[in-house]
A and B are shown apart, each in its own frame.
Chain A
Amino acid sequence: QQPVQSPQAVILREGEDAVINCSSSKALYSVHWYRQKHGEAPVFLMILLKGGEQKGHDKISASFNEKKQQSSLYLTASQLSYSGTYFCGTEIRGNKLVFGAGTILRVKS
């Protein structure tokens, strides 16, 4: 049931773009994205709901393909502060989130 995230890790230079993917083998009601910095708690970025509604962050965008059970997180013009581990959480049913293994993003100056 755990969604699969790709890539596992990515290194960028400041100003570069990145895409993080999340896919599930089950039909999804919603996809959540969180970022966790080392030693800190996960912080909410984005929710994508079945039917197209999005709630999220002003500098980060995401897509949700309900038919393919996939979501992608788009980070544009990356900044040093974007570094961290990105988790997608998928809601299959039962109102619980199952998180992927995470994607480590490191932005270098």
Chain B
Amino acid sequence: IAGITQAPTSQILAAGRRMTLRCTQDMRHNAMYWYRQDLGLGLRLIHYSNTAGTTGKGEVPDGYSVSRANTDDFPLTLASAVPSQTSVYFCASSDTSGRPGELFFGEGSRLTVL
């Protein structure tokens, strides 16, 4: 089934540890995004990539990094996790030749930093 796959689905992490959330899509969408979702705050954009080889900062990029080596993969790395990074992380993609803003989301990665 075509779509976006995120891993892990859930993780508990000690503060200070490094963590990479994986995201893979098989829809050949050129744009990909990482959001975090916290209760009462809605979705906040962390980083995005409009095409392979390029990345950009979103609303809340501090403490996170991304890479886009190819079309399908867009990993998100927390270099040194802190408790405020406890959240649900969603990866999404879009076909920029379609409706702007129509996103396809992965199932999310629930991260707890202790």
Is the A/B pair a real complex?
Answer: no
